[in-house]
Amino acid sequence: MTDPIFTYELLKDFSFSIFKKIGCTDEEAELATEVLLKADLRGIDSHGIARLSGYVRLWDKKRVNSQPAIRITHESPSTAVVDGDSGLGLVVAPRAMEIAIKKAQVAGTGWVAVKNSNHFGIAGYHAMMALPHDMIGIAMTNASPLVAPTFSIERLLGTNPIAVAIPALTQPPFVADFATTTAANGKLEILQRKNQKAPIGWVQTKTGLPSTDPNEAKSGGALIPLGSDREHGSHKGFCLGSWVDIFSAVLSGANYGPWVPPFVAFLDPPSDPVGEGIGHFFGAMRIDAFRPADEFKKHMDNWITRFRSAKTIDGEERVIIPGDPERELNELRLKDGIPLNPKVVEDLKALGGRFSVAF
């Protein structure tokens, strides 16, 4: 059985209406919708419209403020700290990235740490905002603790993704966007739905043993940092996840490590917060603060072309340049529509019912 398909326009209108119903301004409902649906278009289905009802449940609990007064609380020529005022991360994050871009226009680079925010959708969206300005974009965020550091059985880090977007001239941009764990949580959710096993190295049991059960994190187990085990460099994945946590939250004054509030509304945030909300970190670097942009972009074309044409292992089709599959899917789904899991459809119908918005 194949999943039902919906047009981008239909999902856009629906999402916009829901964000309006919880009190967002037109402009912010549109922005939140664009960020949210970029995940569906690019095939990161776990972070798209499937999460819409989750955001609404956080709003129900007053953990999301639909009319935030987003403001800079501290700044220097190339930096700022932004207080998201508990707004939707889908709105706070692009606002913060805009500030990074403005700083870069003057100072060469701009770096913005954000506190008091919520889940921001896909990191890639925000990093890619830099591209039309001939800038390199960087985005990262911390997230609810699901990941155990190497040698530990405690969940102290989120899947803490990093995105880096780099423009080219005639080639499409280089866009890396990945969780700093062996596998993103969304990949485990897919296995859970299909009742399939996970490869060894993705999760561990509550006592830290290797496991193939994609549900381990629900029964005290944990996800594993990129690398899978110590022998294969999981301590490096732990370094990366820590780096994201510290830049996103210790620099900004958000909650870090095990204090990060859970995304799911049925779990309460820790009662002893060490900061405000969750944290993000954004960077924008103007290419011509280093060398003429066209010169750089010509070399990026050369870089991309050389790597894409690399000789492959027998049976493998091609070397994948980061961002290629997502961009191709984006084009396809804009044309042919977006498939949604029947459970997601049901959930959206219920959400529409509650707010008298047709789905």
- Interacting positions 280-299 with a second copy (CB under 8 A): 285-287, 289-291, 295-296, 299
Among the listed residues 9, 67, 302, 349, the single contact to a second copy using CB under 8 A: 302
Within 178-197, which residues bind a second copy (CB under 8 A)? 178, 180-183
| Segment interacting with a second copy (CB under 8 A) among 48-56, 83-91, 213-221, 312-320 | 312-320
Residue closer to a second copy by CB (options 111, 120) is 111
By CB under 8 A, residue 153 contacts a second copy: yes
Residue closer to a second copy by CB (options 172, 352) is 172
Helix axes 26-41, 8-21, angle to 10 degrees: 140
| Segment interacting with a second copy (CB under 8 A) among 43-51, 319-327, 333-341, 351-359 | 319-327
Within 162-181, which residues bind a second copy (CB under 8 A)? 164, 166, 174, 176, 178, 180-181
| CB neighbour list of residue 21: distance below 8 Å, 6 or more residues apart | 355, 357
Within 8-67, which residues bind a second copy (CB under 8 A)? none
For β-strands 203-204 and 210-211, DSSP reports them as: antiparallel
| Segment interacting with a second copy (CB under 8 A) among 21-29, 40-48, 106-114, 326-334 | 106-114
CB 38, min distance to a second copy, A: 19
Both tokens assigned to 8: 């981008």
In SS3 terms, 243-279 reads as HHHHHHHHCCCCCCHHHCCCCCCCCCCCCCCCCCCEE
| CB neighbour list of residue 139: distance below 8 Å, 6 or more residues apart | 93, 97, 120, 123, 124, 125, 126, 127, 162, 163, 280, 281, 282, 283
